[in-house]
């Protein structure tokens, strides 16, 4: 499955989770439910995937973790905040560049309507 189809599936799952739970919970609750929903679509999902930095030809573990990595292709960063900020977008862009991924989904569940909490992020590689 390509990134676009994976991304659409992720968004479908986010809408389903948000409809069931609504806003106001901790990020970890949404993460657990998103993993369950994504796995129901027979996609591979890894939680808290370590993302190393390569600097000076050395692999360094700088403590970066992807909330979710789906099918080894799409990064999902989950938030439960009042408002998405530029720093959240920068975080996803950095993850895409560091991992050479093409697509990321920044999802904020602390919104009235899920569509207000979705940012699709593309790495021009």
Domains, the chain, with CATH or none = 3-122 (3.40.1350)
Q: What is the pLDDT of residue 61?
A: 84
What span, in angstroms and rounded, lies between the C-alpha atoms of 91 and 103?
13
Q: What is the pLDDT of residue 7?
A: 98
Q: What is the pLDDT of residue 124?
A: 79
Of residues 35 and 63, which shows the higher confidence score? 35
Q: Is the pLDDT of residue 102 over 80?
A: yes
The pLDDT mean for the chain works out to: 96
Q: Is the pLDDT of residue 15 over 80?
A: yes
Q: Is the pLDDT of residue 125 over 70?
A: no
Mean pLDDT of 8-36: 98
Q: What is the pLDDT of residue 2?
A: 96
pTM for this predicted structure: 0.94
Q: What is the pLDDT of residue 63?
A: 84
């Amino acid at each position: 499955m390509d990134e676009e189809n994976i991304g659409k599936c992720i968004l479908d799952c986010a809408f389903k989770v948000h409809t069931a739970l609504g806003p106001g919970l901790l990020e970890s609750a949404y993460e657990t439910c998103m993993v369950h929903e994504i796995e129901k679509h027979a996609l591979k999902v890894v939680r808290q995937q370590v993302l190393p930095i390569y600097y000076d030809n050395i692999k360094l573990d700088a403590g970066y973790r992807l909330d979710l990595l789906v099918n080894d292709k799409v990064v999902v960063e989950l938030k439960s905040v009042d408002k998405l900020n530029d720093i959240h977008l920068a975080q996803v862009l950095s993850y895409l560049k560091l991992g050479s991924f093409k697509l990321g989904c920044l999802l904020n569940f602390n919104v009235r309507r899920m569509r207000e909490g979705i940012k699709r992020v593309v790495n021009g590689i």
